[in-house]
Structure 1
């Protein structure tokens, strides 16, 4: 029997998010006959930690917030201790590998830029692979962008989540990555369909535009709320249901109160199963200023909900405009016009709904798992 390739994934925590869902999918589907996989979870926290496959070796480093004391003072002490421990081991990676990880690996993987420096600091003679999902053109912090794209050069191989993610670095910074490839994220359409039937969702005001994403300023939900108010004022009755949590929640709640749209702009927070909320809506809107290759787009197509999305990142690699989705620019006027079109011209969303039934075949998950496997195998062979 051949020796399995020892692979280490490192990730911070498992709050609900696109990267976390991609990670779980990969951990579930990479071939066990070829790979002995270990998952190093820095903080044992997040809704998705229970979904890590049971046959994966898991090393959890620090206790998650869910498992800390409810006593405010004790909790503060626990968090301070946790932060000091993380800082110590970040500055002493050799001790982290000696005292905590305690194993050798053939390949080490940074699934997101937050792990780039941790993986590059590893003392192991492993092949190091980075995954990059970020559209750098939307980050105003040039120092941070340059740090990330220069760190990418130090990896043995880079996997980009969309063509646009790689191309934009070449266009803006004239930097190319000969040791790289584009591999899209797998989209689990059948699972989304099954979960969408788990419980009923009833909305008070139809038609409903659903949306899903982390509440971050670049997701543009503040703009979507202004558009919602404008459409209501013009007499277009509708509601918007946003599924997702994040640091913009308080700002958005305040904005909803100021605009008096609290009953029609629904902030539903993070949902372990978001699919019934989408399935029972009439349309889906993605107002983001930047994306890579969002899983949600394929899942919503699979649920047969007509999509309006901003034409950013890898989204035009997923949607054929005016065929299986409707693409708009990310400014307020363009999103407004797209939503108004759906509300006034039923032919267009109906056509998109009919076409999306046929086009979901373009998401071929097995090819994605095969491509990732091929990258790992080739890197391991180069190591020998």
Structure 2
């Protein structure tokens, strides 16, 4: 998209989305494949010859161009607008296994930006520690803005029926092996066996759905470890459960943790990615390592230690203050304005 502020023009977007005739795909499978092939070919041409979309379609005369994620680095750096200042933005853990095929190109591209923004302090620290010789452009850590009012409104849309008087844990995330749901299910089964009744609702879909479904049957927890699939609005479940749990092996700066803090829900989470920047152990949440014993102990603690849970709930009442959206917007605006003046 393009934003104009006074005499400053900012461009942030990707080539190809303006092709409305390609956005409205037919239901005919053969024609749909042809349309997809045509779109792919057109996008390939746009990337090879960026001057075509920049001058004929986007009319790119922006003062500043922003790549809001690493998948957009190539498009922004290859822009035919050589006069614009380029900003790169990284939210991902550079050591994440699935990211590795893209890492060599990302490392080549980062120094080419005029300015660079990291989505969390942890994201920056991991990059610097892993690649200490990488030359970074001027940079800053800016957290994601949180739509506080929208989250509260969505959370109040309905009250889910958990069909139990036992404690309920909720987790929201993609069903991927690194999300730790297999480990969580095994811990859940042990807790039940040891006399700590509770239910867990997992909201999300992914490639691990079948494996997790089979495991729940093997462990006999089909009715207490509920795989709900994807939901348009998970917030009522987060708001009305007793606890939230994130058992991930790795994360970046997960928005769902910020959202859950806004909803003042006690959280158990692995201390990975940018999560320790948001959660203070035994103050406004509970941090653990990616370890079954620690996960078991934390869940047991939440179910049995009312004093600790009450303390965390009291401290969560001030959660909104740590997400100052105006401060975030001002920081980005200042970067853009100062960069355009160079």
The reply on whether 1:171 has 2:129 as its aligned counterpart is: yes
Q: Which residue pairs with 1:136 in the alignment? A: 94
TM-score (norm 2): 0.89
CA offsets per residue over residues 91-127 of structure 1, 9 Å max, x none? 3322232443233211111111111111111111211
The yes-or-no answer on 1:76 pairing with 2:41 is no
Q: How many Å separate the matches in 2 of 1:111 and 1:134? A: 12
Partners of 1:2 and 1:228 in 2: how far apart? 53
Q: What is the CA-CA distance between 1:143 and the residue it aligns to?
A: 5.0
Give the CA deviation at 1:369: 0.5
* Alpha-carbon distance in 2 for matches of 1:63, 1:255: 42
Query: How many angstroms apart in 1 are the aligned matches of 2:12 and 2:99?
Result: 27
| Deviation of 1:348 (Å) | 1.9
Q: TM-score, with normalisation over the residues of structure 1?
A: 0.80
The equivalences for 1:93-172 within 5 A come to 93-125=50-82, 126-139=84-97, 142=100, 144-172=102-130
Contact 2:110 2:137 in 1 (8 A): no
Assess if the C-alpha contact under 8 Å between 1:42 and 1:61 holds in 2: no
- SS of the equivalent of 2:158 reads coil
CA change 1:209–1:369 in 2 (3 A) is same
Tell me which residue corresponds to 1:200.
159
Q: Using the TM superposition, give the Cα deviation of residue 327 of structure 1 relative to its aligned residue in structure 2, in angstroms.
A: 0.5
Which of these residues, 206, 229, 233, is aligned with residue 269 of structure 1? 229
1:326 aligns with 2:248: no
Secondary structure of 1:137's counterpart equals coil
Q: Which residue of 2 aligns with 1:182?
A: 141
Per-residue deviation, 1:247: 3.7
Give the structure 1 partner of residue 199 of structure 2. 239
- In 1, are the aligned partners of 2:86 and 2:115 still within 8 Å (CA)? yes
Distance change >3 Å, CA 197–CA 256, structure 1 → 2: same
1:251: Cα distance to partner?
3.7
SS at match of 2:231: coil
Instruction: Decide which moves more: 301-310 or 243-252.
Output: 243-252
**Cα distance in 1 for residues equivalent to 2:79 and 2:44:** 15
What is the match of residue 48 of structure 2?
91
Please report the RMSD computed on the Cα atoms of aligned residues, expressed in angstroms: 2.5
Q: Given that residues 127 and 380 in structure 1 are in contact (C-alpha distance below 8 angstroms), is that contact kept between their aligned partners in structure 2? A: yes
Q: Map 1:39-54 to 2 at 5 A.
A: 40=14, 42=16
Distance 1:102 1:269, change over 3 A: farther
